[in-house]
Amino acid sequence: MTHVGRTRARGVETLTLDSPHHRNALSAALVGDLRDALTACAADDDVRAVLLTHTGTTFCAGADLRDPPPPDALAGLLRQIVALGKPVLARVTGHVRAGGLGLLAACDIAAASLDATFAFTEVRIGVAPAVISLPLLPRTDPRALTRYCLTGERFDAPEAARIGLVTAAGADVDAVLAPVLDGVRRACPQALAETKRLLTARVLETFDRDAAASTALSARLFSAPQAREGMTAFLERRDPAWVL
């Protein structure tokens, strides 16, 4: 059973996160399936661009607390998206939480519908957005990122566009994406690859410099007593012990 669907139309490979009963949470299996699909796209000359989307009302709920991927596997997935020699676009019509925001930051272009919502919920379960900070820090407004990462507040699609988490938001996400998809279909594949290489150099430098420290921090926090309390409280639908 795969957790990632694949379809193709005029050179655009659509990869669909397809685990709606788990809110498309980043389980070890889903991360593995997505990495395999991206590897196949990278090797296929008929694929001009990749479009990442989802089933259900949630784009991605973040790490699957019952089956979380190893931090280095998540870091590898995010780096793979950034380094892929083809544009990777995101189409969001649902909610995005925690690690799911790292997927958006890794993508080259992201479009969201106006009913999408976003939140960095890590601090509310006793961890930190360590691994996803690798693509987020170079691409997102630093003051806004500070606020939302420290508070876990929910924000809407226009705010996500304002702070650089997504490229654009609109009532009809497909209308927002239409000129983008037309543009990449008209572009020379080699030129796309070299242009993306220029645009992602700073993000990849961040991965190469900080990935080891970020994955170590994530592993340490997820194994700490505070995280066990936070994740248990989340699964039991109660407040963790530290809430005042």
Q: How confident is the model over 145-164, as a mean pLDDT?
A: 98
User: What confidence tens digit (pLDDT) does each residue in 3-25 have?
Assistant: 999 999 999 999 999 999 999 99
Check residue 68 and report its DSSP letter: P
Portion of the chain with pLDDT greater than 70, in percent: 100
Angle subtended by helix axes 71-83 and 189-222, to nearest 10: 160
Contact (CB, 8 A) for 96 and 158: no
Cα angle: 177, vertex 99, 114; to 5 degrees: 35
Please, what are the domains in the chain? Answer: 1-172+189-244 (3.90.226.10)
Structure tokens belonging to residue 74 = 């998540």
DSSP H helical ranges for 5-98: 28-43, 71-83
Query: Quick one: how many helices (H) and strands (E) in the chain?
Result: 9, 10
Contact (CB, 8 A) for 203 and 82: yes
Angle subtended by helix axes 189-222 and 225-235, to nearest 10: 100
Q: Is 45 exposed, middle or buried (0-12, 13-18, 19+ CB in 10 A)?
A: exposed
Helix (H, G, I), strand (E, B) or coil at 60: strand
Asked if the model's pLDDT at residue 41 lies above 90, the reply is yes
Structure tokens belonging to residue 219 = 């592993």
CA 228, CA 244: separation in Å to the nearest integer? 18
Q: Is 103 exposed, middle or buried (0-12, 13-18, 19+ CB in 10 A)?
A: buried
User: What confidence tens digit (pLDDT) does each residue in 200-234 have?
Assistant: 999 999 999 999 999 999 999 999 999 999 999 99
C-beta atoms surrounding 165 within 10 Å: 26
Helix (H, G, I), strand (E, B) or coil at 158: helix
Q: Which of 66-75, 148-157, 194-203, 206-215 shows the lowest per-residue confidence on average (mean pLDDT)?
A: 66-75
Cα angle: 227, vertex 229, 233; to 5 degrees: 115
pLDDT score recorded for residue 84: 98
Nearest to 132 by CA among 40, 69, 66: 69
pTM: 0.96
pLDDT score recorded for residue 1: 77
